[in-house]
């Protein structure tokens, strides 16, 4: 059987009798497809729906070792209950994708989800790198990441180093405690938004300050559109979006662990999406496990002071390329 989905490279391919082709490369188990009308989003889901209804005798060729389904309408929960180990497409206009019920339901499955929407889905923790637009050329369609920056700094047009006067973190746990201590060393202020959904309102009320927002890129996807619009219109704002604070620590090399280094190269090969609903949760569990019983013993709620020792601290800060905290 021809494979339309390559689970090693995360690529989905299919075509219809009119020669329309899609070649879609995914990153995690949740892909959010954004875009205005006439960008090919509905065509994509329509092709899957047609194949689901008409099968092999229909106009869409989808010979695949994984089943593809379209879930929609008020009976979505019952539909989802009968789908396992498949690729699930959900078109825009289905309000249930915004609910906590939906978030809980898909957390208990082993499916892969492609969700078409023009709005952020605050109930779902998804990465800024899991948000795509459809790029079309003639009859060929592909996904292109909507938000991507080599240095994880936004706006990605930034060429000079970021030198903030204040830092805003999304949480009040160990990540905030780390950056708060750094800021105090340099006579800077560090605030917490107490949750990613509060970042936008904080920035709206602090209009004339030179702020660097540090948030978990692994779960900041729902907020990215509106926050980035502010950042792009205000010269004094910048975003730094590591996967998470725990990812930043793991990436610093302070653990000198070869397994960690391998995991960081291709996290999707190691993360069970049914067990870890977001990559942030996985990296927290990994750092906690790897440091248990050592002087770097890590807990999410309270920062171990060992992380503020010069060697450890500087290794972590060294991962924040293009950011100067002085």
Domains of the chain (ranges plus CATH)? 5-145 (3.40.50), 153-317 (no CATH)
Phi and psi based region of residue 31 (left: phi greater than 0; alpha: psi -120 to 50; beta: remaining)? beta
Contacts of 275 (CB under 8 A, 6+ apart): none
pLDDT tens column, 191-249 = 999 999 999 999 999 988 999 999 999 999 999 989 999 988 988 899 999 999 999 99
pLDDT on residue 210 = 94
pLDDT at 15: 66
Q: Collect the ranges in the chain with pLDDT lower than 70.
A: 1-26, 35-42, 55-65, 135-146, 148-153, 155-159, 326
- pLDDT of the residue at 108: 82
| pLDDT the model gives residue 39 | 52
Report CA-CA distances (Å) from 129 to 97, 147, 175: 19, 6, 21
Residue of 280, 279, 274, 273 whose CA lies nearest to 300: 280
- What's the pLDDT at 7? 46
Burial call 285-313: b when 16+ CB within 10 Å, e when fewer: ebbeebbeeeebebebeebbebbeeeebb
CA neighbor of 12 nearest in space, from 20, 91, 22: 22
**pTM for the full model?**
0.83
- The pLDDT score that the predictor gives to residue 17 is 63
Positive or negative torsion for Cα 26, 31, 37, 43: positive
pLDDT of res. 103: 93
CB burial string 83-118: b at 16+ within 10 A, e below: beebbbbbbbebebbbeeebbeebeebebbbbbbbe
Quote the CA–CA distance of 323 and 151 in Å, as a whole number.
Answer: 10
What is the DSSP-derived secondary structure letter of residue 41?
Answer: H
């Amino acid at each position: 059987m021809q494979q339309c989905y390559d689970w090693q490279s995360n690529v989905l391919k299919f075509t219809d009798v009119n020669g329309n082709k899609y070649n879609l490369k995914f990153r995690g188990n949740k892909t959010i497809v954004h875009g205005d009308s006439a960008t090919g989003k509905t065509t994509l889901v329509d092709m899957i729906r047609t194949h689901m209804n008409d099968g092999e005798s229909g106009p869409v060729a989808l010979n695949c070792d994984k089943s593809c389904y379209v879930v929609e309408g008020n009976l979505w929960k019952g539909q989802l209950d009968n789908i396992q180990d498949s690729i699930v497409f959900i078109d825009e206009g289905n309000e249930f994708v915004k609910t906590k019920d939906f978030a809980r339901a898909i957390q208990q499955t082993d499916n892969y989800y492609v969700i078409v929407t023009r709005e952020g889905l605050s109930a779902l923790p998804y990465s800024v790198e899991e948000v795509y637009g459809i790029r079309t050329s003639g009859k060929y369609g592909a996904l292109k990441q909507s938000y991507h920056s080599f240095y994880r700094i936004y706006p990605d047009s930034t060429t000079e180093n970021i030198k903030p006067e204040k830092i805003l973190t999304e949480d009040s746990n160990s990540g905030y405690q780390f950056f708060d201590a750094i800021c105090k060393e340099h006579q800077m202020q560090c605030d917490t938004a107490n949750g990613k959904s509060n970042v936008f309102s904080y920035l709206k009320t602090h209009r004339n300050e030179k702020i660097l927002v540090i948030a978990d890129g692994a779960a900041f996807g729902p907020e990215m559109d509106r926050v980035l619009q502010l950042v792009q219109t205000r010269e004094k704002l910048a975003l730094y979006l590591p996967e998470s604070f725990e990812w930043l620590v793991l990436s610093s090399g302070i653990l000198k662990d070869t397994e960690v280094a391998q995991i960081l190269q291709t996290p999707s090969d190691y993360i069970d999406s049914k067990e870890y609903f977001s990559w942030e949760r996985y990296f927290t569990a990994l750092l906690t496990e790897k440091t248990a019983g050592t002087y770097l013993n890590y807990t999410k709620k309270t920062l171990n002071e060992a992380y503020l020792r010069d060697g450890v601290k500087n290794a972590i800060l060294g991962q924040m390329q293009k950011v100067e905290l002085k």
